[in-house]
Each structure stands twice: as C-alpha cells, then as structure tokens.
Structure 1
C-alpha cells in the first residue's frame, strides 16, 4: 500500500456540518462526506496526540449521532465515509446496551474463537470491557493501521452476532433475533471487506 503523508486533521465540527445544506446537490454532499472522513483517517493517521484521539472517539457525542448520520449514513460500505459511519454506529450500539453486548459477546466467543482472539476484548468480557474495546477501535482511526482497526471491529461484531443468534431473550421473537443478528453479521462482513480494500490501497 502506498504510504500517505500524515498531517494534523481538520476534524468535522459544527461549522462544517452547518455548511452542508440538506437541499444541496447530492454529488456535493457525497464529496463533502468523503472529505470529512478522509480528514479523520488520512489526516490523523499515526497521531499520538491524546486530545485528538479523545475528540475522534467522542465525535458522536460532540456532534450528535444524527448529525454524523446525515453526513455519512448514505455512503456505500466500500467508501471511506461509509466505513467511518459504520465504526461510529458500532460504538453507539455498544454504549446503548453494554450489558447486553457483553452477554452476547461472552456467548459468541466460544463459537467464533478466531474472531474473538482478533477482537482483543479483555477476559472476562463485561460491560466495561466491551466499552473499552469500541473506544480502542475508534482511537485506532488516528493511532493505528486503519486496516487493522477495521479487522478488529469486524471480528468484534462477528462474535457478538454469533452470540445474539444463539441467545434466547425474554420477550424477543426468534425472527427479530435472527434479523438483528444478520444485520450485525452484515456489518462485520462490510468492515472486513473494507479492511481488505484498505490493505490494497483501494479504500477511499
């Protein structure tokens, strides 16, 4: 993969988001979304700045997940913008129900041991551990090899999806459980495919 110069990024902030008019040309919106994602990933890569890492990890809280969705949710899974959105979506899901996620991960890791090893969740995987894992994944946008970050996120989602598919939850139909597990598995596959594209310099 061709080495890219790493510069201090201009992170998407309120002013940048406000400039994107909902009635603007879709092509311009797509271009703006990709530029913002590239600023995060390509501009920040390899940074050891703890303040910058914190800003990236907590971007959904500072800007609002809905705002990030408006910018990135429509981007294809094989684009840089689409991948960044999926990483933030994964973190949002974990923080919304860390107890449930930890339970699903615990159940799934015996059925998907290879993915469990790649994910890097501490043992035993409780709520604090799964939150720490997704924060570490988001920090990987600026501190680690981006492909490794994507593979780690994909592995985590795969283990959790496996656990969800086999878990019986009171009040939840088997159909709903299967659908939600399938969606999580799709997310895992998309992140893994993006990781392969990144390895070959074809992402974004």
Structure 2
C-alpha cells in the first residue's frame, strides 16, 4: 500500500496521540477502500493473509489503540480474531460446537458449516474477512459478531462444566474429547481457575460482538469513521 508523502508528515517522533489516531484512521480507510475497489482476487487474498506474512503485530501497530467503534478499531478486532482462530483452530472449533446450539440465529449468520471442525472454522473466517473487501462491509462485521457470540457461549458452557468439577478436557492435535471423572481437590482448584479465565474470555468476546454490531450499524448510516 503506497501513501502520499503528506500522509506521513505526522509520523516522525510517533509520540502524539492525535498523530497516532490520524494514522490509524487514514491507513484503515485507504486499505479498505483500495481492497474494495480492486477486482483482482489476488489483492483480496493478500489482504486476508496480510498477518500471515507480516504478523499480527504489524496490524496492531496500526490499529490496536483505536477506539472500538471506529473503522480501524473494527478492522483490528477482525484481524485479531482471525489470528487467534488460526493459532488454535481445534480448540476454537470445540468451543464453537459447544455454543452453536445456544444461539441458532448467530450460528446461521456466522455461516460455519456443521460440524464446525478446525478446517471449516479457518475457511469460514477467511471467507468472512474476504467479504469485507468484496461484499458488504457491514455484513462482514455482523458475521464476525455472530461468530463471537457463538464462541462466547461455547466458552461459557465449558467453563460451567469446569466450575462444577465434572469435566476434564484432553486435547491433541486432531481432536478434543471430554471425559467424566472424579477430581481431586487440586484438580478442582485448577479447573476453577481455568473456568474463571474462560468466563472472562467469553465476556470479552461478547463485548467484541456488541462493538462489531454497533460498528456495522454506523457503517450503514455512513457514520463509521
């Protein structure tokens, strides 16, 4: 992505919050506009896989500090979510499967095939992100929001089982299975700690879903900056 010299006048030093905000909004708008203006599938593919080549940190430097309900804030959440999913596809697919029946509308909107295995999860997320550049941006935001809602419910469900000391998760590279067992006090304590962490993550995912839905509404109203 090439920028004109005046668009980088504010970069030297990099200490002003106003300059950082301006850079985030300018880069987000330029990248989205260029992506949506192109009819070359290879351009869309490069945008979707940008973080695979340059790392999530490259996007974080641009947009991570932006307010949630803004264009750069929305793009950051989308790329960050994709990064988490691609690092833990088997685990994410397990959480997704646990949550998809609790909110059928969100499950349908997200569009993940059933059963939601690791490969299908990754493919669907890439398809949704590609849709941000080739289709309706607000629909892509809402699909990511729906994905977050289902994932949040799944994590909450697993956390509930762990909190009661009824379930133990055993994972390998191919699959995750749940086995009932009679846990010791130490295992119960460890499970409770993990349950607390999972519930905190579920709450964060739900907040992200709400932010993306709000951003989608503002995009439709032409007020998402």
Query: d(CA) in 2 for partners of 1:140 and 1:40?
Result: 14
Shift of 1:21: 4.9
Corresponding residue for residue 55 of structure 2 = 64
Shift of 1:20: 4.2
Corresponding residue for residue 145 of structure 2 = 154
Corresponding residue for residue 97 of structure 2 = 106
Task: Evaluate the alpha carbon distance shift between residue 107 and residue 89 of structure 1 in structure 2; reply closer, same or farther with a 3 A threshold.
Answer: same
User: Gaps spanning 5+ residues in structure 1: where?
Assistant: 1-9
Count of matched residue positions in the alignment of Structure 1 and Structure 2: 191
Do 2:148 and 2:206's aligned partners in 1 also have CA atoms closer than 8 Å? yes
TM-score by length of 1: 0.86
Query: d(CA) in 2 for partners of 1:57 and 1:11?
Result: 18
Point out the structure with max Rg over C-alpha.
2
Corresponding residue for residue 131 of structure 1 = 122
Which structure dedicates a bigger proportion of its chain to strand?
2
Shift of 1:95: 0.5
Report which stretch shifted further, 173-182 or 40-49: 40-49
Corresponding residue for residue 215 of structure 2 = 194
Query: d(CA) in 2 for partners of 1:197 and 1:29?
Result: 22
> Is structure 2 residue 120 aligned with structure 1 residue 121?
no
Secondary structure in 1 matching 2:218: helix
Task: Evaluate the alpha carbon distance shift between residue 46 and residue 151 of structure 1 in structure 2; reply closer, same or farther with a 3 A threshold.
Answer: farther
Q: CA RMSD in A?
A: 2.1
Structure 1 stretches (4+) deviating beyond 6 angstroms? Answer: none
Corresponding residue for residue 206 of structure 2 = 185
User: Gaps spanning 5+ residues in structure 2: where?
Assistant: 163-167, 170-189
Q: Which has the higher contact order (CA 8 A, sep 6+)?
A: 1
